[in-house]
Amino acid sequence: KVYEDVADLPSLHYDFVIVGGGTAGNVVASRLTENSSVSVLVLEAGPTNKGVLDAQVPFLSNGVSDTGTPYSWNYTTTPQTGADGHVFDYLRGYLLGGCSSHNGLAYTRGAAEDFDRYANLTGDQGWSWNQIFPYFLKNEQWTAPADNHNTQGQFNPAVHGTSGPIEVSLSGFSWTEFERRVIQTTNEFPNEFPFNLDMNSGQPLGIGWLQYTIGHGERSSSATGYLTPEILRRPNLDVLLHAQVSDMVRPGLVRRIHTAHTAIRHAGTSLFIARASKEIILSAGAIGTPQILLNSGIGDHTALAALGIPTVLNLPSVGKNVSEHAYTGLSWAVNSNQTVESITQNATRYNEAFAEWNRSHTGPFVDPSPGTHAGWLRLNADSPLFNVHADPSPGPDAPHFEMLLQPFGFAGTQGHFVSFTMAMVSPVSRGSVTLSSNDPFAAPVIDLGLLSSEFDALALTEGVKLALKFATAPAWNHDGYLGAPTVDLAAMSHAELLAHVRANSGPGYHIVGTAGMSARGAQYGVVDPDLKVKGIAGLRVIDASVLPIVPGAHTQAATYVVAERGADLVKQTWAL
């Protein structure tokens, strides 16, 4: 059952207390309570996802994620020196379902080599692609797109699950003219931009149709998929909203964590204590989780001491090792009115499209904004950049770049545009999440380290050149479709392009690594391969923070499989 007020909770003592009802937390809660003998409490800082239209209608997803909405944590980053000192709003979901309730809905798993690298880093083959693959299937329910179009040749059914909680589908509204040109480019430039039938097969390289966590025209999230009304009727599962956890350790209580201090967010004085007899599971995400660990005295001893926080466990890697993708957009005006601007810049069509969604869950509102296709691309094998830094990708079948192909622009001006947005998805740069004070409710200090490595900035510049190459295909130019670029990048020198990249890149909201997995006994890392926090009993982390390196993909699918396997690891420990 979902509770809004702690006074209504039947108990404050459970077998498992899960901190954060986000993407991962709800998976773990749902899986553990399959066993009726265990009791689980989920503590979520934000409100319910129920009735939040922007969290339901894919086209409106920006309305729930943007800074300033009541459904976002409204963080900002430190000035990012690699990105011209810009300070970015850093979006994180503040509602049941966490980021899965407000993200861009793109469903991308990453390369097999991403997971094989996790297995090698942790010494646990359970994280390898082959052993993780069944968890992708367990999480997924492949679903027909909202327009029921013929999807043959747009995906490979053999690599998809059919009965999991999260609905995944291809786009349910066609921007036909744009899509046709994308596919035509793969025919015209098959060496640089080959067509890939399914980017989620473990072999993502090439250009393929994007898949989304959408079913029947609506967002599918960990809240809708893993906390269905039926699951919430389980007597052994309680979810408390508006409960922001501050820390876990009471003075004098060391090496065995079993309490979580929580406060109603807007009344910080009303602290109460939830108790777990088996484990506390931190699923507060890659920012919330290290913040709670640090608040609890688990982290770098020197940094904790500087803030007057007594060290419970000196674990220097907590909050370090942030890896994140850097994106930069390239837009062109087009001689066509078949772009998303035909809806966003026309109130009548916008209202019609919204009415259609309300009526039948069809039309343009069934899709979000990432784009129609994505390309997963690499630097040339003989690129001189590999003299600057060794190849940071996990292998030759994994990408350095993502190129999002979007039938809309970012200029904010009237007109019709398309964008080929480029991202560096195998970054060398690392950042950190640290505390700003010993007030557990103060916002943490988020340094993404965006483009702080010279290699990343140089590589992204090469990526932009790839996008410029894509735009030279006859498919875009033979009939004058592609007009003027919003910024003439093709005319720039290499140095100018590099400066442009630094000045115009932003984060992908794919932060991981702040409670990274490492091999048992390693002198770095935060959790062992079984996701137990090193050196302390009764405490696990199950969320995106455990991924030691960001995969070459948007991160929700990887988070879901971490959570599915994490739940199994908990079950194994307790023979559930």
Ligand X SMILES: Cc1cc2nc3c(=O)[nH]c(=O)nc-3n(C[C@H](O)[C@H](O)[C@H](O)COP(=O)(O)OP(=O)(O)OC[C@H]3O[C@@H](n4cnc5c(N)ncnc54)[C@H](O)[C@@H]3O)c2cc1C
Q: Looking only at residues 179 through 198 of this chain, which bind ligand X when binding is defined by CB under 6 A?
A: none
Give me the residues paired with residue 377 across strands.
401
CA–CA dist 15, 28 (Å, integer): 13
Contact in structure between 401 and 376 (CB atoms under 8 Å): yes
Least Å distance, CB 454 to ligand X, is 26
CA atoms within 13 A on the CB side of 435: 30
Distance (Å) of CA 203 to CA 166, 188, 397, 561: 22, 22, 6, 17
Q: List phi, psi (to 5°) of 123.
A: 70, 20
Segment contacting ligand X (CB under 6 A): 93-101, 137-145, 311-319, 342-350? 93-101
Q: Looking only at residues 240 through 269 of this chain, which bind ligand X when binding is defined by CB under 6 A?
A: 244-245
Q: Looking only at residues 207 through 236 of this chain, which bind ligand X when binding is defined by CB under 6 A?
A: none
Least Å distance, CB 99 to ligand X, is 3
- 245 marked as binding residue: yes
Least Å distance, CB 96 to ligand X, is 7
Segment contacting ligand X (CB under 6 A): 358-366, 413-421, 495-503, 553-561? 553-561
Say whether residue 559 binds ligand X (CB under 6 A): yes
CA–CA dist 323, 308 (Å, integer): 28
Say whether residue 555 binds ligand X (CB under 6 A): yes
Total residues in contact with ligand X, by rule CB under 6 A:
42
- Ranked by CB distance to ligand X, the top (closest) residue is 22
Q: Parallel, antiparallel, or unpaired: how do β-strands 298-299 and 272-282 relate?
A: unpaired
Say whether residue 285 binds ligand X (CB under 6 A): yes
Say whether residue 106 binds ligand X (CB under 6 A): yes
Q: Looking only at residues 488 through 547 of this chain, which bind ligand X when binding is defined by CB under 6 A?
A: 509-510, 543-544
**Nearest to ligand X of 82, 97 (CB atom):** 97
- Length of the chain equals 576
Q: List phi, psi (to 5°) of 260.
A: -125, 120
Catalytic annotation on 86?
no
CA neighbor of 274 nearest in space, from 17, 540, 1, 554: 17
CA neighbor of 223 nearest in space, from 562, 560, 513: 560
Least Å distance, CB 28 to ligand X, is 9
Say whether residue 453 binds ligand X (CB under 6 A): no
Give the SS3 label for residue 65.
helix
Segment contacting ligand X (CB under 6 A): 101-109, 157-165, 412-420, 566-574? 101-109
Least Å distance, CB 465 to ligand X, is 25
Q: Is 265 exposed, middle or buried (0-12, 13-18, 19+ CB in 10 A)?
A: middle
For the beta carbon of residue 120, count every other beta carbon within 10 angstroms. 14
Q: Which of 58, 82, 98, 299 binds ligand X (CB under 6 A)?
A: 98
Q: Looking only at residues 18 through 47 of this chain, which bind ligand X when binding is defined by CB under 6 A?
A: 19-25, 43-46
Least Å distance, CB 106 to ligand X, is 4
CA–CA dist 223, 44 (Å, integer): 12
Say whether residue 6 binds ligand X (CB under 6 A): no
Say whether residue 93 binds ligand X (CB under 6 A): yes
Q: Looking only at residues 292 through 351 of this chain, which bind ligand X when binding is defined by CB under 6 A?
A: 292
CA–CA dist 84, 145 (Å, integer): 41
CA–CA dist 225, 457 (Å, integer): 38
Residues 6+ apart with CB under 8 A from 439: none
Q: Looking only at residues 361 through 400 of this chain, which bind ligand X when binding is defined by CB under 6 A?
A: 370
Contact in structure between 189 and 207 (CB atoms under 8 Å): no
Q: List phi, psi (to 5°) of 139.
A: -80, -25
Per-residue mark of binding to ligand X, 116-145 (x: CB under 6 A)? ------------------------------
Give me the residues paired with residue 263 across strands.
244
Catalytic annotation on 554?
yes
Annotated binding site: 245
Active site residues: 510, 554
Annotated binding site for FAD: 245
Question: Which positions touch ligand X (CB under 6 A)?
Answer: 19-25, 43-46, 65, 91-94, 98-100, 103-106, 108, 244-245, 283-286, 288, 292, 370, 509-510, 543-544, 554-557, 559
